[in-house]
């Protein structure tokens, strides 16, 4: 796990409603995700290309 820049703007999906599970934040060239219940454990970092591939794969039910 890695830390993400201080002051990052974290967001949750509108689909999670009351059960927020993950938060996402963007910085130049990188996207981070973290567990809302364990924020102190850090975040997983993805390059922009990796993140786009993950999102596209999820949209098209490839997993």
Predicted confidence at residue 2, as pLDDT, reads 54
Which of 30, 14, 56 lies closest to 22, judged by CA?
Answer: 14
Predicted confidence at residue 57, as pLDDT, reads 95
Gap between the Cα atoms of 7 and 12, Å rounded: 16
Predicted confidence at residue 21, as pLDDT, reads 84
pTM over 0.85: no
Domain spans of the chain, in order of start: 22-59
Predicted confidence at residue 3, as pLDDT, reads 58
Backbone angles phi, psi at 11, to 5 degrees: -140, 155
Ranges of residues in the chain whose predicted pLDDT is under 70: 1-5, 16-18, 20
Predicted confidence at residue 61, as pLDDT, reads 92
Exposed, middle or buried by CB within 10 Å (0-12, 13-18, 19+), for 45? middle
């Amino acid at each position: 796990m890695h830390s993400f820049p201080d002051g990052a703007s974290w967001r949750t999906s509108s689909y999670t409603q009351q059960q927020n599970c993950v938060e996402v934040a963007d910085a130049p060239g990188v996207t981070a995700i973290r567990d809302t219940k364990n924020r102190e454990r850090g975040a997983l970092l993805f390059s922009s290309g990796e993140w786009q591939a993950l999102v596209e794969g999820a949209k098209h039910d490839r997993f």
